[in-house]
Amino acid sequence: MGQRAEQIFHGQPAAGTMAKGPLHVLPGTRQETAAPAAGEDLAAALERARSELSRLIGNEKGAAGDILEFQLALLDDEDFLAPVIKRMAAGEPWRKAWREMLEEEIATYRDSGDEYLAARANDLRDLQMRVLGTDQDMSGIGRGAIVVAADLTPSRFLQISRLGVSGIALSGGSATGHVAILARERGINMIVGLKTAVETLPDGEQALIDAKNGLLIVSPSARTLAQGAERMAHEEKERKAAQAMAKKPAMTADGEPVRVLLNAANPDDLEEISPEICDGIGLTRTEFLFSDGLLPDEETQTRVYERILAWARGKPVTIRTLDAGGDKPIAGVTADGERNPFLGLRGLRLSLRKRALFRRQLRALLRAAIHGELKIMVPMVSVPEEMVQARAQLEKARQELEQRNVPYGDVSFGMMVEVPAAALMAECFDADFYSIGSNDLIQYTLAAERGNPEVSWLADGCNGAVMELIARTVRAGRRLGREVSVCGALASEPAHAACLLDAGVRVFSVAPAMAGPVKLAISRHAMAKGSKNK
Amino acid sequence: MTETVTGKVVITDPAGLHARPAVKLTKLAKSFASDIDIRAGEDGGWINAKSPSAVMKLKARHGTTLHVRATGADAQGGVDALVDLVKRGFG
């Protein structure tokens, strides 16, 4: 067998470092010859998909169920299926016809210019995969494989991430997308925006994923492999050092103590993490509770928040109220058709318009607060008046609980600092603490949208203007005796620990997988002269 | 020979014709034997009201006037039922 020539494919770094492994081209993007469940025809596949969906719908209420109902309805839509039938009549295999027709539909939804329809593209992807029966095929992914796919839904990503893969390379996706964030949290090597049609990649062929530089090297030469091995050995040494550091308290090289908190989302994810690696939780994103427009009741929410507090075993837990809007649309909650959603009705602005929904969440948080040290944080605050209004809602939520004779606990009430106006005037806000959301602060300060690859180079976290806003917020917090933390992606990047420390930041809230690496970076930095207790 | 019956109604549901209303509307349309088409606004193209895919892609949002037209034995019933469904906010 002849040696293939080395081929390098370029993409964007999304998470992790470097690893080696055989390529696994995911079904849905795999060539027809490797079709799963041979013998099944379209009618049988549709019937299987129908019964799977009906079973799933049985467990779902609200919008998540509606979406599944929609998928089910599509399977009985003659107009929708007509192009597939037509292509089959012309002699095309049904899998190819189905996959390609859905591919066109997905593109139509994605490029519709309609936020709601675009958000449904992933549901069509799920339907496409479901009918192809690719769920069964996921088990074919071996430990150590490098999975290549066009794109992944978050649920599919989670399934794959548990299989012990070496890495994931996607031709779609974005470095700031949900799946990339999950990959960073789990320390999975990942590239997005790979510039090749994944189905042309050779399944099973050896490859090297260089996630730091956004490269996928297929059939690497002996020389590339040797260089890769050297880098991997270095990364491995760093990883071990970081791991050893994870359970120790963070401290700079010259002995300045630093607190490292975790960013969390779903309590299920916390189950796999030891609370020993952190000083508490600095950010809990509650959007997962509201995915697909699902509006969980007070009881459901209370139980979720209690679980997080139980996990923390007395350490402080910061929970952010619903941060919908912007790049996180929620059907039926966020506004449709805004010309610029990032400057629109999002975060606290939306909560102050949906007050019943907001107070429902506040009541659940107040109730959970009996079980630990709970800090409520509101996102996207621009002017002091918003904090006045938010506190009034908190007070009203307390009164509502009292009227019902439901016990509740003490909470502190703080704000995200992600709008430059808030950073400049931090001391004017009635907040018990400040948490800097670097992702938005960077994009609003530099007027560069984080999801746009053409301008993302401008969105440098260590930009002087951004650092000045952070330092200013830190100084305001010191004067008023209020905690200031950084919870955005900036805090999770070991390379940026030094400039944050120099800006006065002493509380970092990081992705769980980054607790060790960030502590390691902190331990290697000696404070610049004069910056101590500035 | 049956004639074509038409009707129109303004969408008042705040979210417009999203997944749940689209499914409800097509299921209702399918319960009639007549051919039923809808369009969003005066200038929109007619689409099959029995196709959830087509209804979803109509992108009919809050405030849009939905036009309904039906041809067949139970055309009047079909138009009335669809108009009523939209009026009720897909309840």
Chain B positions touching A335 (Cβ under 8 A) are none
A303 three-state secondary structure: helix
Q: Which of A83-87, A90-94, A392-396, B8-12 has the highest mean predicted lDDT (pLDDT)?
A: A392-396
pLDDT in tens, A124-154: 877 888 888 765 456 578 889 999 988 887 6
pLDDT for the residue A135: 52
CA-angle at A118, arms to A112 and A122, nearest 5°: 135
Whole-number Å distance between alpha carbons of A520 and A89:
62
Q: Calculate the alpha carbon distances from A435 to A79, A80, A251, A373 in Å.
A: 51, 48, 20, 17
Q: Beta partners for A147? A: A24, A168
pLDDT in tens, B23-49: 999 999 999 999 999 999 888 899 999
pLDDT for the residue B2: 65
Quick check: is A178 catalytic? yes
**pLDDT at A2 exceeding the cut of 70:** no
More confident residue, A432 or A337: A432
A247 three-state secondary structure: coil
> Hey, what CATH topology would domain A7-26+141-236 get?
Glucose Oxidase; domain 1 (3.50.30)
Whole-number Å distance between alpha carbons of A233 and A225:
12
Using a CB–CB cut-off of 8 Å, the residues of A that contact B are 63, 66-67, 69-70, 73-74, 77-80, 105, 108-109, 112, 114, 116-117, 120, 331-332, 336-337
**Alpha helices of A380-504 — where are they, by DSSP H?**
384-403, 420-424, 438-446, 464-480, 497-502
**pLDDT at A60 exceeding the cut of 70:** no
Question: Is residue A56 within 8 Å of A34, Cβ to Cβ?
Answer: no
Q: Where residue A36 falls among pLDDT bands split at 50, 70, 90? A: very low
pLDDT for the residue A487: 94
Whole-number Å distance between alpha carbons of A120 and A292:
9
**pLDDT at A451 exceeding the cut of 70:** no
Q: Where residue A29 falls among pLDDT bands split at 50, 70, 90? A: very low
More confident residue, A271 or A390: A390
Question: Is residue A46 within 8 Å of A75, Cβ to Cβ?
Answer: yes
Q: Beta partners for B67? A: B8, B39
Delimit the domains of chain A by residue range: 7-26+141-236, 34-135, 247-523
Find the residue in A nearest to B30 (Cα): A77
Question: Is residue A476 within 8 Å of A427, Cβ to Cβ?
Answer: yes
Q: Beta partners for B18? A: none
Dig out the tokens for A180 from the structure.
């990339």
**pLDDT at B53 exceeding the cut of 80:** yes
Whole-number Å distance between alpha carbons of A13 and A21:
18
Whole-number Å distance between alpha carbons of A380 and A346:
7
Q: Beta partners for B70? A: B5, B36
% of chain B at pLDDT higher than 90: 64
pLDDT for the residue A119: 67
**pLDDT at A482 exceeding the cut of 70:** yes
pLDDT for the residue A302: 95
The Cα of B37 is separated from the nearest Cα of chain A by a number of Å equal to 13
Chain A positions touching B18 (Cβ under 8 A) are 66, 116, 331-332
pLDDT for the residue A478: 97
> Hey, what CATH topology would domain A34-135 get?
Enzyme I; Chain A, domain 2 (1.10.274)
* Residue range A42-63: mean pLDDT, rounded: 78
**pLDDT at A32 exceeding the cut of 50:** no
* Residue range A197-211: mean pLDDT, rounded: 85
Yes or no: is domain A247-523 CATH 2.60.40.10?
Answer: no
Whole-number Å distance between alpha carbons of B68 and B39:
7
Dig out the tokens for A96 from the structure.
């190819």
Question: Average per-residue pLDDT in chain A?
Answer: 87
Q: Which of A292-301, A461-470, B17-26 has the highest mean predicted lDDT (pLDDT)?
A: A461-470
Q: Which of A195-199, A205-209, A272-276, A412-416 has the highest mean predicted lDDT (pLDDT)?
A: A412-416
Find the residue in A nearest to B61 (Cα): A336
* Residue range A459-482: mean pLDDT, rounded: 94
**pLDDT at A529 exceeding the cut of 60:** no
Task: Go through the domains of chain B in sequence order and give each one's CATH number.
Answer: 4-85 (3.30.1340.10)
Dig out the tokens for A362 from the structure.
């506040």
Least confident segment among A179-188, A294-303, A316-325, A421-430? A179-188
* Residue range B43-63: mean pLDDT, rounded: 90
Q: Where residue A291 falls among pLDDT bands split at 50, 70, 90? A: low
**pLDDT at B84 exceeding the cut of 70:** yes
